[in-house]
């Protein structure tokens, strides 16, 4: 029974890798699109982190009166 489970999981992983690396209508694969967008997501994450830190600092300053 375990062998059947491993065969099914292996086939699913193989199909998934094939799907994300297959070229689409634009001539690019899903993984290439993701790789191109990672720097943008990282920059957006840094902006959100800075905004959150500033909001927390302002909240602390107003509560402590400093």
Share of the chain above pLDDT 90, in %: 77
Tens digit of each residue's pLDDT (9 = 90 or more) over 31-51 = 999 999 999 999 999 999 999
Give dist(CA 28, CA 15) in Å, integer.
18
Global pTM reads 0.55
pLDDT for 66 beyond 70: no
Each domain of the chain, given as residue ranges in start order, spans: 2-64
pLDDT for 16 beyond 80: yes
Task: Work out the average pLDDT over 8-17.
Answer: 96
65 pLDDT tier (thresholds 50, 70, 90): confident
Give dist(CA 33, CA 11) in Å, integer.
24
Q: Are 30 and 24 in contact (CB under 8 A)?
A: yes
């Amino acid at each position: 029974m375990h062998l059947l489970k491993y065969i099914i999981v292996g086939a699913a992983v193989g199909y998934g890798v094939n799907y994300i690396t297959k070229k689409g209508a634009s001539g690019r694969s899903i993984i290439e699109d993701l790789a191109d967008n990672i720097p943008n997501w990282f920059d957006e994450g840094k902006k959100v982190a800075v905004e959150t830190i500033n909001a927390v600092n302002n909240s602390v300053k107003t509560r402590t009166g400093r």
